[in-house]
Amino acid sequence: MNKRETGSFKENEAAVYLEHNGLKIIERNFSCRFGEIDLVAEDGEYTVFTEVKYRKTASSGHPEEAVDHRKARKISKVSDYYRMIRHLRPDAMIRFDVVAIEGSDIKWYKNAFEYIY
């Protein structure tokens, strides 16, 4: 598998994991000129924007470490655009999660970061 195929496979694995834990996936790979969000889901009243990160091993760092301030800011901007074009209320409940896959281990970080302007 090449990197793109591996990424798609792991994003699907994350989506299945989240669905088994009660979330409803409403969109995959939402992209716009600001960037991309891997998964958009609903969790009760929350719209959840999820970044999926995969590493085969921790030799180059844990996958969750790849979601730094810069990446969080980009995801925040993309979420603004998503909420605008999907006509979500300005006061809609949102959350930013990270699903980190290292080898075959999956970790789900709810509310992994706050909105960054």
Structural domains of the chain, with CATH = 3-109 (3.40.1350.10)
What is the reported pLDDT for 58?
82
What is the reported pLDDT for 57?
86
What is the chain's pLDDT, residue by residue, as a tens digit (117 residues)? 788 888 899 999 999 999 999 999 999 999 999 999 999 999 999 999 999 999 988 888 899 999 999 999 999 999 999 999 999 998 999 999 999 999 999 999 999 999 998
| Stated pTM of the model | 0.94
Q: Is the dihedral of CA 70, 71, 76, 77 positive or negative?
A: positive
Give every strand in the sheet of 105-109, ordered side by side.
24-32, 35-43, 46-55, 94-102, 105-109
- For the beta carbon of residue 69, count every other beta carbon within 10 angstroms: 9
